[in-house]
Amino acid sequence: MKNTIITTTILSTTLLASQNFNTLKFDGLTQIAPNVAIETLKLNNKHTLSDQDIDNLIKKLYQFDYFNDIWVTNENKILTIHVKEKPFISKIFMKGYKTRDDELKLLYDTMGIHKGTMYTKQKIKYAKRILLLALKQEGYINSVVEVNVKKLNDKSVTVHFDINKGDPIIIKHISYNGAKYLEQSDFEDVIQNKEEDCCFTWFFGRNDGEMQMDQLQFDSPRIKDLYYQHGFLDAKVSAAFSKIDFNTNNANIEYNITEGKQYKVDDIKIYIDKDIVDIKTLYPKLFLEKGKTFNIKKLRQDQQIIQKEVANKGYAYAVANFKVDKDIKTNNVSITYNVISGDKVYINDVIISGNDRTLDRVIRRDIYLAPQDLFNLTDYTDSLRKLKQSGFFEDVKITKKRVSKNKMDLLVHVKEAATGNLVFGGGYGSYDGWMINASINDKNIFGSGMNLGFSVDYSKRKTNYNISLFNPSIRDSKYSGSVNLYKKTTEIIAASDSTEGDQTTYQTGLGLGIGKAITRYARVGINYNFDDETIEYDIDKSLNEDFISSSLTPYISYNSTDNYYVPRHGIKMGTSLKYTGVGGDAKYVLSSSYFKYFYSLERLTDYDIIFRYKNSVKYLKDTGYLPDDTTFYLGGPSSLRGYESYAFQPDDSDHPFMRYFTNSIELSFPLIASAKMRWGLFFDHGMIGETNFDEISRSGYGEFVSWISPFGPIQFIFGNAINPKNGDKTSNFEFNIGGSF
């Protein structure tokens, strides 16, 4: 390369000597704009270049590291600077290592190469060194990286990284010397480098023991923070000492721990301008309490609570600084918060990015802050929650960018998710046999936010086909609309002494609905259904019925829960009144209400326990003609666990069940947090009757295991009936996919 430069320079300066020219131009230059090159080379308003000038010009261009060759010609008073640029990297291939796009992007950023980067041997050498370092940090020793550069043409190359990962280092044992108050299982909840489990290391939630070198330096502070969460403010934790046997690739890790004393909270003080927030309203909201063990995690939560209350008044950059004073004689701490509110801040603009498919307006309608609005932290967090709950995005980030003393931009960046999905589930019961349910839907058709779906439910006793379209915001308003077509077949096995025989209902129908959001959590609406039904009996054919059902159902619903799959706080409730008799043959009224309550007990127990309660009340009234299949049934996963579906049903069609009440209590505990698995205990109680609610009253209890899997929520139910009576149809096991409490 140096010989080429020297030779080129000598040839150019010898042939040209001092050159006069009228026009200056570049040939082959794409990486630098000509005007920038002229400015950089200081060629403005020049029409003569000496031998030394041309020599310096060529040297400066080479310093850009963009060119393989440079030469200068002068023809007809046109001075032309010719460059031959180095090739570009048109594509990068990675084999044997990262596969996810987001992981690869982060890796390429670290390696300093991307598609479109100018290719040089130095860059590839640096990228290889960084790649080997990344493998080593992840615990792979003796890794081999081969790089193959393929030339596509004079202007582009492809780079292939072929990785042979070395053997991982397996952690066989970790010692926590000096730990008395906390146990090994406590540490494993926070550290990244964990002991290898004895078996089934491939299963969800099991530890494979692979050492992560890059995380080892942070595990010691994580352990120390865990002690702070239990009030040990004098705790000392040494850096991890690892002993590696490179013959077996096994390792032992050792921590030396001095726990010190456990502290309790003696006093809490908050200093803030009383015109901004009434201090008296803040203290009851704090997690830390006087007389209770100090917890650094709760301290941080309290700091966020205080800042949120101030930020809700428009002080977006409020800071609640805290000071912890220890009294080593009494083992007590006093906590002081000093709140600096700053200036009120208004929204300047809302800028959306990352939505290649979803329309801007679909995102914007779920953001509760707009230009000129006073900043409000609740609106900010609710916007984030709403966008995440939509199911349209894999990740959502809303960044606050300050543009002046009292104005900010909101930068909304989304990472779109695959919104089309297939859900498949099933279960087994002695009544329904094997039950299968499947659905195909896309909740964001063409990025419009509309949901189009098709579902099938099938078992020995019933089939249900349904196709639906739902628009949650018609023309970006607060109004929603829906339409669905369905076809159902349901078989009910009659009681042993029935003279009518088994009952089969065939139903084809159309549903239309419109709703409106009246608050952030509440919605009202009305649905219309038209059904053409046939009821057949296998013994007494004279009872067969053909009729038309036409109904209107106004409803109101409320949902303030904090999570779609595993709510820890909030309420879900709703009520509806179905009036059947808007034309058609059937004439009756159906009232239905439900209530669900979720509450985290972590504040009381320092453990992630969720209390859940729900009930459902239904009332049926005959106003002229009540079809034989219009009745209530009790039993099964959705009403009374421990009993089969339809375990309790009317003896005959002349005496339908017209009163229905169920309620359930659950306690949900973490099982394998990393695998999103929980287990829990439940108690169900249900009542049903013709004229009174308690004509039949039963209870059940048991356990369940739930898992938020890649295919959706899965639940395994192990139920038991409480004091079942002779003839009761009980069930001990059910499972389903896609269900929720």
**Among the ranges 8-22, 333-347, 425-439, which has the highest mean pLDDT value?**
333-347
**661 has a pLDDT exceeding 80:** yes
Classify domain 88-164 at the CATH class level: alpha beta
Lowest mean pLDDT among 136-140, 486-490, 520-524, 631-635: 136-140
Single-letter code of the amino acid located at 455: S
pLDDT of 459 reads: 74
Lowest mean pLDDT among 33-42, 579-588, 713-722: 33-42
pLDDT of 205 reads: 58
Q: Please, which residues have CB within 8 angstroms of residue 15's CB and are 6 or more apart in sequence?
A: none
Query: What counts of helices (H) and strands (E) characterise the chain?
Result: 12, 34
Which CATH number is 492-737's, of 2.60.40.10, 2.40.160.50, 3.40.50.1370, 3.30.70.100? 2.40.160.50
Lowest mean pLDDT among 97-101, 273-277, 336-340, 650-654: 650-654
The tens digit of pLDDT for each residue in 355-394 reads 888 888 888 988 999 999 999 998 998 898 888 877 788 7
pLDDT of 650 reads: 85
Residues in the chain: 741
pLDDT of 7 reads: 37
pLDDT of 503 reads: 75
**719 has a pLDDT exceeding 90:** yes
What residue ranges do the domains of the chain occupy? Answer: 2-85, 88-164, 170-258, 264-340, 346-416, 492-737
pLDDT of 294 reads: 96
pLDDT of 420 reads: 65
User: 468 and 484 in contact (C-beta within 8 Å)?
Assistant: yes
Lowest mean pLDDT among 14-18, 159-163, 410-414: 14-18
The tens digit of pLDDT for each residue in 683-698 reads 999 999 999 999 999 9
Q: Residue 531's closest CA among 555, 512, 507?
A: 507
pLDDT of 72 reads: 86
Which CATH number is 346-416's, of 3.90.1480.20, 3.40.50.2000, 3.40.50.300, 3.10.20.310? 3.10.20.310
pLDDT of 367 reads: 92
In the numeric block, which tokens belong to residue 598?
Answer: 């979720």
> What is the maximum alpha-carbon separation in the chain?
118
Tell me the pLDDT of the chain averaged across its residues: 86
Task: Tell me which of 496 and 42 has the higher pLDDT.
Answer: 42
Listing DSSP states for 590-603 in one string gives: EEEEEEEEEEE-HH
pLDDT of 322 reads: 95
Q: Do domains 170-258 and 492-737 have the same CATH topology?
A: no
Which CATH number is 2-85's, of 3.10.20.310, 3.40.50.10490, 3.40.50.2300, 3.40.50.620? 3.10.20.310
pLDDT band at 3; cut points 50, 70, 90: very low
In the numeric block, which tokens belong to residue 130?
Answer: 């960084």
Vertex 432: Cα angle to 426 and 437 (nearest 5)? 30
Q: What is the mean pLDDT of residues 151-159?
A: 86
Task: Tell me which of 127 and 47 has the higher pLDDT.
Answer: 127
pLDDT of 223 reads: 95
Give dist(CA 684, CA 503) in Å, integer: 28
Q: What is the mean pLDDT of residues 344-353?
A: 94
pLDDT of 423 reads: 61
pLDDT band at 5; cut points 50, 70, 90: very low
Give dist(CA 447, CA 390) in Å, integer: 12
Rg (CA), the chain: 35
Fold classification of 170-258 (topology level): Ubiquitin-like (UB roll) (3.10.20)
Task: Tell me which of 651 and 596 has the higher pLDDT.
Answer: 596
**282 has a pLDDT exceeding 80:** yes
**469 has a pLDDT exceeding 80:** yes
Task: Tell me which of 506 and 10 has the higher pLDDT.
Answer: 506
Give dist(CA 601, CA 594) in Å, integer: 23
The tens digit of pLDDT for each residue in 284-334 reads 999 999 999 999 999 999 999 999 999 999 999 999 999 999 999 999 999
pLDDT of 432 reads: 56
Q: Name the burial class of residue 73, with classes exposed (0-12), middle (13-18) and buried (19+) by CB atoms within 10 angstroms of its CB.
A: middle
pLDDT band at 11; cut points 50, 70, 90: very low
Give dist(CA 40, CA 31) in Å, integer: 14
pLDDT of 298 reads: 93
Single-letter code of the amino acid located at 220: S
Lowest mean pLDDT among 59-68, 105-114, 519-528, 555-564: 59-68
pLDDT of 564 reads: 72
Q: What pTM was estimated for this model as a whole?
A: 0.64
Specify the pairing of strand 522-537 against strand 144-153: unpaired
Backbone dihedral region of 718: left (phi > 0), alpha (psi from -120 to 50 degrees) or beta?
beta
In the numeric block, which tokens belong to residue 413?
Answer: 């960046």
Which CATH number is 264-340's, of 3.40.50.970, 3.30.1110.20, 3.10.20.310, 3.40.50.300? 3.10.20.310
Give dist(CA 263, CA 326) in Å, integer: 8
Q: Residue 420's closest CA among 388, 454, 458?
A: 454
Give exposure, 145-168, as e/b (b: 16+ Cβ within 10 Å).
beeeeeeeeeeebbbebebebbeb
**In this prediction, what percent of the chain has a pLDDT beyond 70?**
91
pLDDT band at 501; cut points 50, 70, 90: low
User: 237 and 223 in contact (C-beta within 8 Å)?
Assistant: yes
**703 has a pLDDT exceeding 50:** yes
pLDDT band at 636; cut points 50, 70, 90: confident
Q: Residue 238's closest CA among 260, 223, 227?
A: 223
pLDDT of 611 reads: 96
**612 has a pLDDT exceeding 60:** yes
The tens digit of pLDDT for each residue in 414-461 reads 888 776 666 665 554 444 556 676 777 777 888 788 888 888 877 777
DSSP assigned state of 635? -
